[in-house]
Amino acid sequence: MPRRHRSVRRRSRRPLARLVAPVAIPVALAVAVGAIVIIVDHSGANNLADAANANCASPAAYVVPANTAGHHHGSGSTASPTATATTAATATTAATATTAASSTATATTAATATATTGTAPTTPISSAAPCPTVSATTSTATTTAANVNCDIIVPANPLSAQGLATPYQLTGPGGMTAAQSGCTMANAGALGAFVQATVLNPRTGQLYVYNPLVITQGTTPAVAPTVPNLPRNAVVTIEFGFNGTVLTQVGATANALRQGNCVNGQGGSMFGQVSFCNGTNFFNDAFQLEREGRLRVPSEGTSSKIVASGGRLGSGQDCPTVRNFDMVDQDQSDNVTSQYLLTATGQTAQNTTANAANLTGTTVLTNGSDNALIDFFLDPTFGCTPFMAPDLGNNNQMTSSQALDELLAAKNQTAVTALVPENDEMVLDGNGNFDAAKTNLYRAEVGQAPVNNQNNRQDSPAMYCQNMVNIQTPFLAANQTLLATGASPVPAVGNNLFTFLANRLSMSFTNLNCQTFGLTNPVTATLDGNGVAVAATFNTTQQTVSNTTGTPPATGATPTAGATTPAQGGHHRGRNHHQWMDPSGM
C-alpha cells in the first residue's frame, strides 16, 4: 500500500464525502470583498450561491470532488501508534464538484516599508472588564456590502462542557446588528465564523474533537448542540476561523475571555481572521504527555505516489503536514476544519450524522484553511490520511482538527521546518512592521517554538522565502502529473490542484515580499481569459537570499505576481486583512 494512515484509532472503510467551502482569493476589483459559498443540500442537489450582496465581487469557493472522503473521515487500514483503541462509526455527506466564479489575474509592483523588529513583552489582546457591548441599534455608517469584519460572542466558561455546548453568536462590529453588517451564518461565504475545540485527557493522553456551534445573534439553533462528556480536568484548546477579514472575540460576560485564556492578538494589533483560547496551555500539556509516553502521536505516513524532490531539503515521500515547505503559503497554520448545517430559515446546527438525517434541505458550511487543503485535497491525492480523534459531538466518529494537524506536524518535523514567519501579515504590528512578540504569541497558540536564532536559520522572513522557493518549487514540478489529477480547491485560481498550488505559490511569493530579499518568483502561470491558471512552468534553480533584512509586506499596496501568459487586466486582492492576494483562504 502506498500509504500509512494517521489516526488515533482504526477507522471505517466506508467512503465519505468532503466539503470545503468558502475562501478568499484575488478579485478583479481592488476594493471589493465578498465570497461564494458552495452549497450542498442533503437531497443531493448542489447550488452555487453568492453569499454576499450583489454589489460584492465573488472571489471563489472551495469545490470538492464527490469521491473524496468527508469531514468525518473514513479510510481503510490499521493506523499508526494511537491514543485510543476504540472503533469509529462513519457518516456520509454528499458533495459534487461545482465551478466557482473566476477573477482576473494581473498585479502591479508592490510598495515596501522599512522593517523594524518588535521586542516588547507580550501583551495579549484578551478580555477587558467590562467586556465590549454588542448592540442591536441601527447603524447606517457601514453597509452589508462594505463590511468585512464581525464580532463573535464567546460564552461564559468557554473551556467547560457547558461553555462548549453554548452557541457562539455571530454579530456585527461597532454596534451594528447581524443583519445590518451581513454578519450572519446565512452569509457564511463572506462573513461566516467557525469554532473548533480539541480536548486532551491529562491522565491518559486521549485526544478528542468538539466543534462548538456558531449561530447568528438573534436566532436559535436548529438543533440544540450536544453537550460533550469531557474527561476529568480536561485541557481544551479552542481555535476560531473566519471567512471575512477581522473576527473579534467579545465576552458574553465580563470574565468570559479571561476564563478561556482567549487572545485576539497582541499589543493592540489583531491577528485578523483567527484567534485562540487556551492554545498555549494545551500544547504545553500535550508535549509533556508525549515526553512521558502517555500521548502517542503517529507518524505522518509515507506515500509511494509522491516523487521525492528538493534533495536534502525536501521531505522525501513523507505525507504532507502543515509545517512542510512543500505546501505552506503566506499565512500557514490558520483557520479550522469545522462544518455546520444551515437550514432554509437561517438557523445552524452541528454537522452530525443525526442532524444531517433529521434536518431536511440543509446546506453544509465550511471554513477554508491550510488544514483543509491537506485533509481534503492533498492527502486523498497522495493516498495519505489525516491524524484524527473521536468527535464528542457526533457519537465519537473520527474527525480532524487544526490542533491535531499541528501535533502531527510537531511530531514529524522535517529537516527544514516551516514555522509562522514574521512577514506573515497576521503577525505584523499595527504599523505593518515585523513584530517578534506578536509572532511568538501566535506561534505559542498553535504549538510552535518562539522566534530564536536557531529557527531563524530556517524561518526568518528571508529564509522562509528562500525555503519556500527552493523546496516547494521542485516539489510541485516533480509531482505535477499526479497533482493535475486532483480537483482544484478554488477553480477561479487554478483549473486543477496542480495549477491552483502553482498560482498559490506565485502569489505567496509576492505577498511575503520575497522579492525584497533578492529572490525571483519561480512560477510562470498561464492564465485563460478569466484569469484562471491553466498551466504553469517553474524555474527550479536553487536561489540564495542576497538581502537578509528585506521589508515587511506593504499593507494596502498592490503586489507583483509571477509572470503570466497572457497578461490579464485588473488587480489581485484577497481579504482586507490580507491586503494582498490570498488565493487559498488558508
For 252, the grid coordinates are 458574553
Rounded alpha-carbon distances, angstroms, from residue 534 to 66, 149, 374, 475, 563: 22, 33, 22, 18, 14
Amino acid in the structure at residue 241: G
Name the one residue in this structure whose C-alpha cell is 489525516: 386
The DSSP call for residue 31 is T
Rounded alpha-carbon distances, angstroms, from residue 256 to 167, 253, 440: 14, 5, 24
- Asked if the bond preceding 121 is cis, omega within 30° of 0, the reply is no
Rounded alpha-carbon distances, angstroms, from residue 28 to 34, 171, 237, 502, 526: 11, 28, 38, 19, 17
Closest CA to 490 of 182, 37, 69: 37
Contact present, 561 and 524 (Cβ < 8 Å): no
Q: How many CB atoms lie within 10 A of CB 378?
A: 23
pLDDT for 335 equals: 93
Domain segments of the chain as ranges: 124-288
Please tell me the distance from the alpha carbon of residue 403 to that of residue 239, in angstroms, as a whole number. 8
pLDDT for 490 equals: 83
Contact present, 402 and 336 (Cβ < 8 Å): yes
Contact present, 509 and 523 (Cβ < 8 Å): yes
Please tell me the distance from the alpha carbon of residue 387 to that of residue 82, in angstroms, as a whole number. 10
pLDDT for 55 equals: 26
Angle between helices 436-445 and 279-292 (to 10 degrees): 60
Q: Terminal CA-to-CA distance of the chain, rounded, Å?
A: 30
Amino acid in the structure at residue 68: T
Name the region of 317 (left: φ>0; alpha: ψ -120 to 50; beta: rest). Answer: alpha
In this structure, what are the phi and psi dihedrals at residue 480, rounded to the nearest 5 degrees? -65, -35
Please tell me the distance from the alpha carbon of residue 33 to that of residue 35, in angstroms, as a whole number. 7
pLDDT for 291 equals: 97
For the whole prediction, is pTM greater than 0.85?
no
Closest CA to 95 of 62, 60, 49, 64: 64
Q: Number of C-alpha atoms within 13 angstroms, CB side, residue 452?
A: 6
Return the ∠ at Cα 63 (arms to 59 and 65), rounded to 5°: 165
pLDDT for 78 equals: 29
Please tell me the distance from the alpha carbon of residue 301 to that of residue 295, in angstroms, as a whole number. 18
Closest CA to 394 of 449, 468, 431, 339: 339
* Residues 6+ positions from 146 with CB-CB distance below 8 Å: none
Please tell me the distance from the alpha carbon of residue 328 to that of residue 198, in angstroms, as a whole number. 23
Bridge partners of 61, per DSSP, are: 22
pLDDT for 489 equals: 85
- Find the DSSP H helices in 412-539: 436-445, 453-459, 461-467, 473-478, 480-483, 497-511
pLDDT for 146 equals: 87
pLDDT for 311 equals: 87
Contact present, 245 and 213 (Cβ < 8 Å): no
pLDDT for 367 equals: 87
Burial of 55 (0-12, 13-18, 19+ CB in 10 A): exposed
In this structure, what are the phi and psi dihedrals at residue 177, rounded to the nearest 5 degrees? -75, 170
Element (DSSP H or E) covering residue 535:
strand 533-538
Max CA distance (Å), the chain:
60
Burial of 568 (0-12, 13-18, 19+ CB in 10 A): buried
pLDDT for 54 equals: 26
pLDDT for 338 equals: 94
What is the bridge-based pairing of β-strands 348-350 and 36-40? Answer: unpaired
**Could you list the pLDDT tens digit for every one of the 586 residues in the chain?**
444 444 443 333 333 333 333 333 333 322 222 332 333 333 333 222 222 222 222 223 344 444 333 333 333 332 333 333 333 333 333 333 332 333 333 332 233 333 333 333 333 443 322 333 333 333 334 455 689 999 999 999 999 999 999 999 999 999 999 999 999 999 998 999 999 999 999 999 999 999 999 999 999 999 999 999 999 999 999 999 999 999 999 999 999 999 999 999 997 899 999 999 999 999 999 999 999 999 999 999 999 999 999 888 999 999 999 999 999 999 999 999 999 999 999 999 999 999 999 999 999 998 878 888 999 899 999 999 999 999 999 999 999 999 999 999 999 998 899 999 999 999 999 999 999 999 999 999 999 999 999 999 999 999 999 999 999 999 999 999 999 999 998 888 999 999 999 999 999 999 999 999 999 999 999 999 999 999 999 999 999 999 887 777 755 433 334 445 443 333 222 333 333 334 444 4
pLDDT for 203 equals: 97
